Amino acid sequence: MLVRDFALELEERKQAGLYRTRRHVTGPQRPSLIADGKPLLSFCSNDYLGLANHPANIEALRNALPETGLGGAASHLICGHHDAHHRLELRLAEFTGRSSALFFSTGYMANMGVISALAGRGDTIFSDRLNHASIIDGCILSRARVRRYAHGDVPALEAMLAETSGHKLVVTDGVFSMDGDVAPLAELAKVCRAHDALLVVDDAHGIGVLGPEGRGSVAELGLSEEDVPVLIGTLGKAVGTSGAFVAGPSMLMDYLVQKARTYIYTTAMPPAIAMATISSLDLIERDQGRRDHVMGLVSRFRREASAMGYELMPSRTPIQPIMIGDNYGALALSQALEKRGLLVSAIRPPTVPVGEARLRVTFSAAHSQEDLDCLLGGLSECRHLLQKTDVAI
Adjacent-strand bridge partners of 297: none
Check whether 32 is labelled as a binding-site residue.
no
CB–CB of 202/107 below 8 Å? Answer: yes
Pick the catalytic residue: 100, 177, 217, 345? 177
One-letter amino acid for residue 48 of the chain: Y
Check whether 54 is labelled as a binding-site residue.
no
Check whether 367 is labelled as a binding-site residue.
no
Residue 201 is classified by DSSP as E
Encode 303-336: b = buried (16+ Cβ within 10 Å), e = exposed.
Answer: ebbeeeebebbebebbbbbbbbebbebbbbbbeb
Of the CA atoms within 13 Å of residue 44, those in its CB half-sphere come to: 19
Check whether 195 is labelled as a binding-site residue.
no
- How many C-beta atoms lie closer than 10 Å to residue 377's C-beta? 12
Check whether 20 is labelled as a binding-site residue.
yes
First vs last C-alpha separation in the chain: 47
Percent helix, strand, coil in the chain, to 5, is: 45, 20, 40
Task: Establish whether 54 is a catalytic residue.
Answer: no
Task: Establish whether 279 is a catalytic residue.
Answer: no
Adjacent-strand bridge partners of 32: 41
Task: Establish whether 237 is a catalytic residue.
Answer: yes
Pick the catalytic residue: 54, 82, 168, 205? 205
The dihedral over CA atoms of 129, 133, 139, 145, expressed in degrees to the nearest 10, equals 40
The closest alpha carbon to 329, from 289, 385, 373, belongs to: 385
Question: What H or E segment, with its residue span, contains residue 100?
Answer: strand 100-104
Q: At 313, phi and psi to the nearest 5?
A: -90, 155
Check whether 76 is labelled as a binding-site residue.
no
Q: At what angle do helices 133-142 and 107-118 cross, to 10 degrees?
A: 30
Q: Is 362 exposed, middle or buried (0-12, 13-18, 19+ CB in 10 A)?
A: buried
Pick the catalytic residue: 81, 85, 237, 367? 237
Secondary structure (H, E, C), 156-223: HHHHHHHCCCCCEEEEEECECCCCCCECCHHHHHHHHHHCCCEEEEECCCCCCCCCHHHCCHHHHCCC
Q: Which residues are annotated as a binding site?
A: 20, 107-108, 132, 177, 205, 234, 351
Annotated binding site for pyridoxal 5'-phosphate: 107-108, 177, 205, 234
Annotated binding site for substrate: 20, 132, 351
Residues with catalytic roles? 177, 205, 237
